[in-house]
Each structure stands twice: as C-alpha cells, then as structure tokens.
Chains A and B, each alone.
Chain A
Amino acid sequence: MWGCIFAVASVGVLSMFIIQYRDWIDWNKKFIYRVAPGPCKQVLTEGGSEDITYIGNDIVIISSGIGEGEGEGVIKALDLNTSQVVNMTIRGAPDRKDFMTKPHGISTWKDERGEMYLYVITHPLSEDRIEVFKLKENNILKYKRTITDPLMVNMNDLVAVGRDKFYITRFIHYRDKPLNMLEIVTQRAWGALLYFDGKKERPVVPTGLSIPNGINISPDQKMIYVSEFGTKKLLGYHRSEDNLLTKAWSYDVDTMVDNIEVDPDTGDLWIGCHPIALRVLDWMMSGFGLTLPSQVLRFKMEDNMVSSVEEIYADDGSELYGSTAATYIKGKLVIGSITAETVVCEVNYLSPSPTSN
C-alpha cells in the first residue's frame, strides 16, 4: 500500500518536473513570425557584436569577436549616417598576446570634463580582465589600465556609474566544461552581482541569480536593471547611496533576455533576446548547429517599472543569427548578435513612451 502511494507520488513529481523543464527549454517552440519596424540591412555580415552602445555623434561602438581566438577581439565603430563600420585603433596597448581575447560586455562613462571612458570585459584563457580605454577622436582608443580581481570571474556585462566604478554580472559559478554546462542545464542559480568601487570589488548580490546577463541603470541612476537569462526575467534593483542593491521587482518576459540598453531621454529599455532556450543550449554545447532566431523587445517604463513590452524586431535567424543587444538612436534600431551579423533597421513607427521621469 505504501509502495503504491510512493510510486504514484514519484510519478507525479517526475511529471511535474518534466513539464516544467520542457516549458523552460521551449521544447516545441519553432515558430518565429517576422516583425520589422522598417527596412533592415546587415551592416556587418560576420564577426559578431555581442554588446553595443551609443557614444554620441551618431556613432555606435561594438564589442566584436567573442567567438574568435586568443587576442582576436576588436572594438568596432558604426557610423549611423554612412552605415560604415571600422575597427577602432588601440594606442598604448600592453604587450600581451592574450590582450583583447573574447571581448564581452562593454560600458562607457563620461566624466565632468567630458572625457569618455570605455570598459570592456575580456576572457583570456588564464583570467577575466576588464580593459579600460579613453575614447579619442578618429576612432582611437587609448589604453589606460587593466582591472582584475580574484572574485571578478565569469563576468558577462557591466554598467559604469563613475570613473572606474561599475556593477558587474557574474553569470556562472563554474568556468570550464563540463561543469559550467551542467550548471546551466540543471538550472542552478549561482550567479551574482558585483560592485567595483575603483579599488576592489564586493558582492552586492552574492548568489541566487540564474545566469545574470545584461545589466544597466535608469537615467536617474536609482534603479539597476538586470537580465536574469536563466529564468527569462527582467529584474529591478533599488540602488542605495552606498551602492548597495535591494530587489525592487521582477518581470517575467518569457524569453531569454540578454543585453540591456537604456534610452537616456525616455528611460525605455531595449533588450536583445533569444526566444528558444533549447537552441541557445545547443549553441553553447556545439550540439546540432540549430539556427538561433533573433528578437528585440522594447520595454516602456514608468517610475522605473515595466509598463508595457513591445516586440520591435523578430527574425527566424536568416537575417540575424542570435541577437544579443539592441539600441535605438534617432529613428534607427541597431541590433547585435553573438558571433554573426549586425543589423540596422529604420524604425518607421515608434509608439510614444509614457511621459514621466
């Protein structure tokens, strides 16, 4: 009798788990309807653009080469007026073979004198490093320093809040295969948020996040937004005077949210997403080579909370493979992907943002 009850209970629990897991990996999801806000074109056909950010004067800078080999990462500059993309030249680079290996998330900071600094997360084989550059004219990056810390490992993205001060997403606990893959596939929540104060880092959310990916900040600098990739949620954290974070809200987006760009005037969030989890896992494990579709969502915010979510772009992967980041500048939508194309779409219609902030 007890054996029977135990059997039924186990079957019940197993079924619930299978259903939850099957939903999480989007097992049966194949369909992507094309959505385009206007005519789109590929400004780069390869190399990738994992993270992108607008630096003013109609220039968008691109972190390129996360799928390439040692030392082959490049920062590129896209001129929105001409659609030309050039590699930025690095002056004063340190003499390291693994300098600029696998660049990942980027962030900029403009100081009181108008000087702009660029922070780039890179993944050399031996350790993660944040390279700091000063942006100069003519697409030149002047190398300033390298920031490392024993706890600044497995970083994904960062957002600068001061000169050499930033919040970082540490997306995973285990660095190497096969443990990192196991961690992801078993839906562990061992990711963290760190704060670097200019000298050293401290964990502001030490653990409990499932693959925190993109990170950014509201225009009033009071709310930190984090893409919790593994749970398909967008999180909002209140930022205190001493840079600590307390969870404010979480929003179920039902798609794997990647990097976040924030519109400084409207506060809108532009997020590159991966709609089919199974394919992302397949890509990470170099499995069957399934095509990664692309999706860009625009979040309208009110008082730094989500008020509505619009799908601005969606593609089955044939035009854009694996979108990771997007930014909207003066009627144009720039979309980056992990290792492939970069697309620019004209946006013929953008519904108005709520007038607050």
Chain B
Amino acid sequence: MFASSLWLALLGTGFYYFLEYRDWLDWNVKVIYKVQPGPCRYALEGGGSEDVIHIGGGIILISSGFEFGAKTGKIKSLNLNTSEVVTLNIRNDPNREEFLAGIHGITYWRDPNSGKMYLYTLTHPSKEDRVEVFEMTSPTELTYIRTISDPLFTFMNNLVAVGKDKFYITKFWQSRDTYMEYAEMMLRMKTGGVLYYDGKKARQVVGDLEMPNGINISPDGKTVYVAEFNTKKLLGYSRDNTNNLHKSWEVYANTMLDNIDVDSSTGDLYIASHPIAYKITDSVLNFFGFAFPSQVLRFKMRDNMVSEIEEMYSDDGSELVASTAATYANGKLVIGTVRDQLMVCDVNYLSE
C-alpha cells in the first residue's frame, strides 16, 4: 500500500516535470499569426545577418556568416537611404586562418574626444573565441587594430561596448563542442554568465544564467539588459561605478529572446526572438530541418524598466527564417536572421 502510493507520488512528480518541459518546448503551439508594421522587402536574400546595429545616419552594420564550424565571416553595411548593401573592406588584415570565423555579436564605441568609431566583433575560430577590434576609417572600410582574447572566453554570444576596448560580453555556453552545447541547452544547465572586459582582462560579473544571448545598455549607461534565451526572460541589471552588475528585475517574455537593440532617443528595446523553442533548439544539430519562425518585440521602457511589450513583426518562417536581431532606424525596422535573409519593413505606426 505504502509502496504503491510512493510510486504514484513519483509518477505524479515525473508527470508534472514532463508537462513543464513540454510547455518550455512550446510543443503545443500550432499557429503563428502574421504581424507586419508596414510593407516589407528583402535587403539581402541570404548570407545571414546574425547581428545588426545602427551606427547613425541610416547606416546599419551587419555581422554575416554565423554558422557552427564556419571558417570565415564578413561585415556588411546597409545604407537605409539608398538600400545598398556592401561588404566592408578590411585594411591591415592580419591574414590569419579563421580570422572572422563564424562572426557573431558586434558592438561599436564612438570616442567622444577623437570622434573615431571602433567596432568590436565576436568570432569563433576553432581554437578559441576572439573579439576582433577595428576602426571604421571610411564608410566602406574597417582597419584592423588588435585581437582580444581571454582564458575566461568559452563560447560567447554578444557584447556591448562601454568604453574604448571595454565591454560586457555574454557567455552563452561553457563548452565549445557542439554536442556538449546541445546538452547544456536541452538539460537547461545554468552554465552561462556575463563577463566584463576592462581593457586588459575579463572577470565574471554575473553567473548561473541559462544561455544569456543578447546584451545591451540603457542610454544613461546605468542599466544593462540581458536576454536570457533559455528561460525566455529579459533581465535588468544596475551597473555600479566599479562596473559590477546587480540584478534589478526580470520580465518573462514567453519567447526565446535573442539580440537586443536600444533606441538611443527613446530607450525602447527592439528584441528579435524565437517563439517556438522545439524548433529553434533544433538549429544546433539540425535533426529535423524545421522552418524557423521569426518575431520582433518592442519593449517600451520607463525608468529603465519594462512598461509594455508590443509585437512588431511575426512570421511562421515562410517569409523570414529565424530572426536574431532587429533595429529601428529612419522609420524602418531592419531585421536580421541567423543564416538567411535581411529584411527591411516600413513602420507605418509606432505608438507613443
């Protein structure tokens, strides 16, 4: 009698966790409705645009070529005024093997004194993750300056510059082996974190996160936003004057959040996301070949806290595959995807 009630309790608990895991996978989500803020068109039909950033004047820089095991990468520039896309030339190219391999998150820093613009790009050469530093010396040219690496860099995802050669960077996975990474993800291990690189070395400022993906900072520099991909949450950290981070708040967004873009005039966040977990998690090992849906959310902020979440774009994967980043510039929404198209939509209405 006691044995059977123990069995029942065990079964019940197992069933409960099964239901929780099934919910996490979004197993029962059948329909993705189309949402569009205005007419949309492709700026690029392929090549990938994992991260997109607006550097001013309607110029969007694009990180192109993220792929597990990729050996190369490119940085492109889209001019929103002319719709032209060019691949930037690299001056002083170090001619290293796997120089921009699997190029991933990018961020820029404008020096207030010299006016020079520095671009930091996260790359995944097979030996170790490296951040390559460039100066943008012309609208079509990047001059290579130096390479930043650190023993604490495992498999990183995105970064945000807060000073010359100073940045916060998300540690996505502990392992650098694709199968182990898949296990970290599906077993929902808290092996991720956030590091701060002070110009010379990195130190961990946040630990025990489940795959922190995008990272960015409020216009006043006081709050650091982290997209915790695997828990489907947006995290807010207050930044102190030693650059340490303290958790302020978290918001459950019910979708796997990817890169974060901050609108410098309103403080709004534009975050691209993956609404169906079982589909996007399959993109690591590609067993099933799903069509990955796309989504862009706008987080309206008040005092650096979330006041409302709007869905600006949604597609079931037939028009846009696996959106990873979005930015709002010149009345247009630019949406980047992992390995496919780059889309530009007019935004005919943006609420106050």
Q: Are A33 and B349 in contact (CB under 8 A)?
A: no
Among residues of B, the one whose C-beta sits closest to the C-beta of A345 is B349
Among residues of B, the one whose C-beta sits closest to the C-beta of A40 is B351
Q: Given that A37-B349, A349-B39 are contacting pairs, would A253 and B31 also be in contact in the complex, using a CB cutoff of 8 Å? A: yes
Q: Are B36 and A310 in contact (CB under 8 A)?
A: yes
Which of A15-23, A45-53, A103-111, A278-286 forms contacts with chain B? Answer: A15-23
Q: Chain B interface residue count: which class?
A: 20 to 34
Residues of A within 8 A of B31 (CB): 252-255, 309
Among residues of B, the one whose C-beta sits closest to the C-beta of A23 is B28
Q: Is B34 an interface residue (CB 8 A)?
A: yes
Q: Are B308 and A34 in contact (CB under 8 A)?
A: yes
Q: Is B348 an interface residue (CB 8 A)?
A: yes
Q: Are A35 and B36 in contact (CB under 8 A)?
A: no
Point out the residue from B22, B30, B310 that lies within 8 Å of A33, measured CB to CB.
B310
Q: Are A348 and B349 in contact (CB under 8 A)?
A: yes
**Contact bitstring A291-315, B, C-beta under 8 A = 1, else 0:** 0000001000000000011110010
Residues of A within 8 A of B311 (CB): 33-35, 311, 314
A310–B32 alpha-carbon span in the complex (Å): 9
Q: Given that A33-B309, A252-B30, A311-B34 are contacting pairs, would A351 and B39 also be in contact in the complex, using a CB cutoff of 8 Å? A: yes
Q: Among B28, B37, B254, B346, which residue has the most Cβ atoms of chain A within 10 A?
A: B28
Q: Is A11 an interface residue (CB 8 A)?
A: yes
Number of A-B contacts (CB under 8 A): 66
* CB neighbors of A among B31-47 (8 A): 31, 33-39
Output the least CB separation between A259 and chain B (Å): 18
Output the least CB separation between B323 and chain A (Å): 15
Q: Are B349 and A36 in contact (CB under 8 A)?
A: yes
Q: Is B194 an interface residue (CB 8 A)?
A: no
Q: Are A38 and B33 in contact (CB under 8 A)?
A: no
Q: Is B177 an interface residue (CB 8 A)?
A: no
* CB neighbors of B among A1-34 (8 A): 11, 15, 18-19, 22-23, 28, 30-31, 33-34
Among residues of B, the one whose C-beta sits closest to the C-beta of A24 is B28
Q: Are B351 and A33 in contact (CB under 8 A)?
A: no
Q: Are A349 and B348 in contact (CB under 8 A)?
A: yes
A137–B231 alpha-carbon span in the complex (Å): 59
Residues of B within 8 A of A35 (CB): 35, 310-311
The 4 closest A-B pairs by CB, nearest first: A33-B311, A311-B33, A348-B348, A349-B348
7 CB contacts below 8 A, A to B, read A31-B253, A36-B351, A37-B349, A39-B349, A309-B33, A349-B38, A349-B349
